[in-house]
Amino acid sequence: MTAAFRAGTPLTAEREDIALPLVSARGLTKDFGGDRGLFGRAETPLRAVAEVSLDIARGEVLGVVGESGSGKSTLGRLLLRLIEPTAGSITFDGHDVSAMVPRDLRRFRRHMQMIFQDPYASLNARMTVGDALIESLMLHRELRRSEAKDAAASLLSKVGLTREHLGRFPRAFSGGQRQRVAIARALASQPGFIVADEPVSALDVSIQAEVINLLQDLQRELGLSLMFISHDLSVVEVMADRVMVLYLGRVMETAPTEALFGRPAHPYTAILMQAAPGAKRQGERLLATGEIPSPRNPPSGCVFRTRCPFAIAACGEGGRPALREIAPGHFKACIRDDIALSQ
Amino acid sequence: MAFAEAVLRIEDLRTYFHTDAGVVRAVNGVTLSVAEGETLAIVGESGSGKSVTGLTIMRLLARTPGRVEGGSIHFRARNGKVVNLLDLSEDRMAELRGRDIAMIFQDPMSSLNPVFSVGDQIAESIRIHHRATRQEARTRAIDLLRQVGITDPESRVDAYPHQLSGGMRQRVMIAIALACDPKLLIADEPTTALDVTIQAQIIALLKALQRERNMAMIFVTHDLKLVEEIADQVAVMYASQIVEQGPTTEILARPRHPYTRALLDCTPHGARHRRLSPIPGSLPNPIAPPQGCRFHPRCRFAKEKCVQTDPLLEPVSADHVTRCIRWDEIEL
């Protein structure tokens, strides 16, 4: 690979092609299972993510919402190549991430980091917070130990903790503090892109607000690109510039945040919004019927049609509905243009 | 609320856990009541004592270090007699539990037995409390599955828990809980583990079943927005105490305790890039809660007197109380 992303070289420094998205994916697909078993009988693969394409600009926050089985976490892991795509391509700052050999990928990793829902599970219980940060700083930024220690202290102060916290173990921290530590560790390698997978879902609401504010501040200050994955629409609405709605691994709708929340165009988006407790709505609440189908055996045509109150015969025919642009930057995968959806 | 219509009335309840690190006063002087056909929400964050309150009512603390150290839980039984649940023998309590008072939890998988079909588990609940033949119990189980919105109940009755989705398992738990037509249902975060579209279905179902049966319900949750959906009355708990209580619409529109106000303010509701207002500090240490008002270290209205005085619940109006000595001098 080229020297452009050798460890220590900032990728995003003063480039002129700033309009180019930082992260792009085309036709990203992930199947689980389906391998030929011992007796040659292949099981039906589970298509967790199906032909998802997206662009995330520099400094942009893309919110990804969906329920269990929507593929939102799988999509985040695919973008970072923590799991291998079955099909499709990923580029980061013009580099084809999907084609990188392991050695190059390892070096490249510092530019893309991840924050998980449960910070306790992602921190080593036997390592002090300081040692965990120093390890990452020495590895990714090739700092000497003494330099790394100062850098670790300054990372902690960035996330609202202090130098005194360096010598403590993860168990000595509260849930909110642990998530701050996880954020500091993600920032250690000076990434341009972070996937945050339900980062505040396990926190009490009084603490959740702190972590959301911190993420917003850091994202703006550092000009980070962020994929913010959540099942909670109200949190996504606060965080995201643009939102993508997934159902059974497919994109149902994607739009700038105001447009999506103000004028949802896909029945599933409208139902998700109305299902959220406390949502203001006119008249009867739109309810999805039945259960989320097994992703191993998704419905034909539109995958949402079995639960959609607006489904007609045509929704089951003619393959998957295409993602069509209905307003600038606002796309929906629904063939029905003759229905009125209110938020 | 007049005692005449209350199904349950708790007074000055104290449940303490004796741990190696010290005594956790998990429920510390809780007083509340709930009437027929009414839903009372107990709302609070982790460690507020909301779940322990529910478990204490059900007397499910026997195998924990938790002990009831004071107070009473008066329950109006089916025959109209009022009994203090804390005075009942274990056998008598077992009769009431499941028949007169039922409970559902967040995680149905840990409450269902994986080796019995759901039909067997519903039927068991019926046959413990009523005389019924195997066939009668099965017919009733199928009927209950239909009532909780499970399609094709005739075949689902023979399904095992692992064959059902999370939402369906919670429906089965509701069917078991309602099998004996209880007068009071305690629901502890019943939808927290569910997807939002399934949550909406389960909430609609609970409301409909409650209306049909005129059942009293205690709904334990951390989610204020869910409280708005489901509850007539709400009790807000912080550090083992009720800090504010009253009609839901009034509490949410005109809170009179700084903690309730702060909880409402830190809940995100819309508007991109809107700054959220976190509550400063962290949840108090359960073994050594702050002196005076437990919320004072995090309260922006706290004054010297808040540290020195243990606040009592003061009436704001006929049915609205707050545990704040400054409630009528601050603007919330």
**For A118-133, how does the pLDDT look when each residue is reduced to its tens digit (9 = 90+)?**
877 778 889 999 999 9
Structure tokens at B93: 């309590």
CA–CA distances in Å: residue B192 to residues A160, A232, B220: 30, 12, 10
Asked if the Cβ–Cβ distance from A275 to B196 is below 8 Å, we say yes
Asked if the Cβ–Cβ distance from B225 to A276 is below 8 Å, we say yes
Ramachandran class of B308: left when φ > 0, alpha when ψ lies in -120 to 50, beta otherwise: alpha
Query: Which of B225, B262, B278 is closest, CB to CB, to A277?
Result: B225
Q: What is the pLDDT of residue A7?
A: 42
Structure tokens at B29: 């002087």
In chain B, which ranges are continuous DSSP H helix?
A: 50-58, 90-96, 108-111, 118-129, 134-147, 153-156, 166-178, 196-213, 224-230, 248-253, 258-266, 304-308
- Between CA A2 and CA B72 the distance in angstroms is 75
Nearest to B76 by CA among B4, B129, B13, B126: B4
Closest-CA residue of A relative to B165 is: A291
Q: What is the pLDDT of residue A37?
A: 61
As a whole number, mean pLDDT of residues A212-241 equals 95
Q: Does B159 touch chain A (CB under 8 A)?
A: no
Count of pairs with CB atoms under 8 A, one residue in A, one in B: 113
Q: Does B151 touch chain A (CB under 8 A)?
A: yes
| Averaged pLDDT of chain A | 89
- Between CA B58 and CA B97 the distance in angstroms is 7
As a whole number, mean pLDDT of residues A161-175 equals 92
Residue B59, SS3 per DSSP = coil
Q: Does B229 touch chain A (CB under 8 A)?
A: yes
Query: Which of B225, B263, B277 is closest, CB to CB, to A278?
Result: B225
Asked if the Cβ–Cβ distance from A307 to B197 is below 8 Å, we say yes
pLDDT digits (tens, 9 = 90+) for B260-278: 999 999 988 766 667 888 9
Q: Are strands A23-32 and A46-56 parallel, antiparallel or unpaired?
A: antiparallel
Contacts of A275 in chain B (CB under 8 A): 196-197, 199-200
Asked if the Cβ–Cβ distance from A207 to B282 is below 8 Å, we say yes
The CA distance from A133 to the nearest CA of chain B, in Å, is 24
Asked if the Cβ–Cβ distance from B204 to A213 is below 8 Å, we say no
Q: Does B200 touch chain A (CB under 8 A)?
A: yes
Closest-CA residue of B relative to A307 is: B197
Query: Which of A205, A210, A237 is closest, CB to CB, to B263?
Result: A205
Q: Does B141 touch chain A (CB under 8 A)?
A: no
CA–CA distances in Å: residue A279 to residues A184, B233, B261: 34, 19, 19
CA–CA distances in Å: residue B42 to residues B133, B173, B192, B218, B274: 39, 21, 14, 7, 28
Confidence of residue A295 (pLDDT cuts 50, 70, 90): confident
**pLDDT of A86 over the 80 cut:** yes
pLDDT digits (tens, 9 = 90+) for A39-78: 666 677 899 999 999 999 999 999 999 998 899 999 999 9
Closest-CA residue of B relative to A204 is: B45
Closest-CA residue of A relative to B151 is: A290
- Between CA A114 and CA B326 the distance in angstroms is 45
Closest-CA residue of A relative to B269 is: A234
Q: What is the pLDDT of residue A117?
A: 87
| Averaged pLDDT of chain B | 92
Asked if the Cβ–Cβ distance from A238 to B274 is below 8 Å, we say yes
Q: DSSP character for B182?
A: -
From A8-17, B85-94, B185-194, the region with the lowest mean pLDDT = A8-17
Spatial contact of B41 and B190, defined as CB atoms under 8 Å apart: no
- DSSP structure string for A81-145: TSS--SEEEEEETTEEGGG--HHHHHHHGGGEEEE-S-HHHHS-TTS-HHHHHHHHHHHHH---H
Nearest to A80 by CA among A41, A53, A112: A112
Asked if the Cβ–Cβ distance from A278 to B226 is below 8 Å, we say yes
Asked if the Cβ–Cβ distance from A277 to B201 is below 8 Å, we say no
Spatial contact of B175 and B146, defined as CB atoms under 8 Å apart: no
Cβ neighbours around B193 below 10 Å, total: 18
Q: What is the pLDDT of residue A100?
A: 94
Q: DSSP character for B92?
A: H
Contacts of B283 in chain A (CB under 8 A): 174, 204, 206
Contacts of B225 in chain A (CB under 8 A): 276-278
Spatial contact of B226 and B195, defined as CB atoms under 8 Å apart: no
Structure tokens at A103: 């050695």
Q: How much of chain A exceeds pLDDT 70, in percent?
A: 90
Confidence of residue A8 (pLDDT cuts 50, 70, 90): very low
As a whole number, mean pLDDT of residues A278-296 equals 79
Nearest to B245 by CA among B232, B263, B230: B232
- CATH top class, domain A1-33+45-247: alpha beta
**pLDDT of B4 over the 60 cut:** no
The CA distance from B269 to the nearest CA of chain A, in Å, is 5
Location of structure tokens 């005076």? B292
Closest-CA residue of B relative to A212 is: B276
The CA distance from A74 to the nearest CA of chain B, in Å, is 17
Closest-CA residue of B relative to A202 is: B46
Q: What is the ipTM of this complex?
A: 0.84
As a whole number, mean pLDDT of residues B168-192 equals 93
Contacts of B203 in chain A (CB under 8 A): 277
Nearest to A183 by CA among A148, A215, A151, A147: A215
Cβ neighbours around B70 below 10 Å, total: 14
As a whole number, mean pLDDT of residues A307-316 equals 95
Location of structure tokens 């999506």? A260
Own/partner contacts of A1-7, CB < 8 Å, gap of 24 or more, are A1/A95, A1/A100, A1/A101, A1/A104, A4/A95, A5/A93, A5/A95, A5/A107, A5/A108, A5/A111, A6/A107, A7/A107, A7/A110, A7/A140, A7/A141, A7/A142
Contacts of B167 in chain A (CB under 8 A): 291
Asked if the Cβ–Cβ distance from A238 to B229 is below 8 Å, we say no
Domain boundaries for CATH 3.40.50.300 within chain A:
1-33+45-247
- The one-letter code for the residue type at A114 is M
Q: Does B81 touch chain A (CB under 8 A)?
A: no
Asked if the Cβ–Cβ distance from B272 to A238 is below 8 Å, we say yes
The CA distance from B230 to the nearest CA of chain A, in Å, is 9
CA–CA distances in Å: residue B250 to residues A106, B36, B245, B321: 57, 21, 10, 11
Q: Bigger pLDDT: B5 or B168?
A: B168
Nearest to A201 by CA among A169, A181, A175, A182: A175
Q: How much of chain B exceeds pLDDT 70, in percent?
A: 98
**pLDDT of A285 over the 90 cut:** no
Closest-CA residue of A relative to B298 is: A206
Spatial contact of A272 and B197, defined as CB atoms under 8 Å apart: yes
Asked if the Cβ–Cβ distance from A216 to B273 is below 8 Å, we say yes
The CA distance from B184 to the nearest CA of chain A, in Å, is 23
Q: How far apart are the first and last CA of chain A?
A: 49
Contacts of B278 in chain A (CB under 8 A): 206-210, 213
Q: What is the pLDDT of residue A14?
A: 46
Q: What is the pLDDT of residue B8?
A: 97
The CA distance from A131 to the nearest CA of chain B, in Å, is 25
Asked if the Cβ–Cβ distance from B199 to A290 is below 8 Å, we say no
